[in-house]
Amino acid sequence: MTTKGISGLLIETHNWGKSVAFWKERGFELEFETDHHSGQLRHPAGGPYIFIAERPPQQELKVTLALAVESAAMFHAPHAGKVVQPFMKAHWGAMEMILGDPDGREVGIHAPLEGRHSQQAK
């Protein structure tokens, strides 16, 4: 099974407030904010969501692509790369697999929980 394309990006930051302000000035709107300096933004013109998460100053920051799939059970990891983490239930109510691309970058594969259809996976 192939993916449905890029559904979102996880962007880590050392300063939640400044990062949100930066993206809002680019036209993105805050959809929701958690109580631990993270939240999701989306552009009204469409496209992938951006999930910004604050990390401690000593932690190296990364950007991770999120690809949507219809079903965790039907998805098979590609041969060119490796499974860093098999599908597991994520705290936001979806299934997530982490793949390593051939260069070692992480890519999140997101699927709805069995029996549920996710707006992000559509």
Domain interval for residue 61: 6-112
Domain count, the chain: 1
Residue 66 belongs to a domain? yes
In a domain, 117, yes or no: no
Q: What is the CATH number of the domain that holds 26?
A: 3.10.180.10
Structure tokens at 45: 């013109």
Q: Name the nearest CA neighbour of 111 among 76, 91, 87.
A: 87
Per-residue model confidence as pLDDT tens digits over 55-91: 999 999 999 999 999 999 999 988 998 999 999 998 8
Taking only the tens place, the pLDDT of each residue in 12-65 is 999 999 999 999 999 999 999 988 899 999 999 999 999 999 999 999 999 999
> Tokens 């559509």, residue?
122
Is the four-CA dihedral 66, 12, 87, 76 of positive or negative sign? positive
d(CA 59, CA 7): 25
Residue 120 lies in a domain: no
Total-model pTM: 0.81
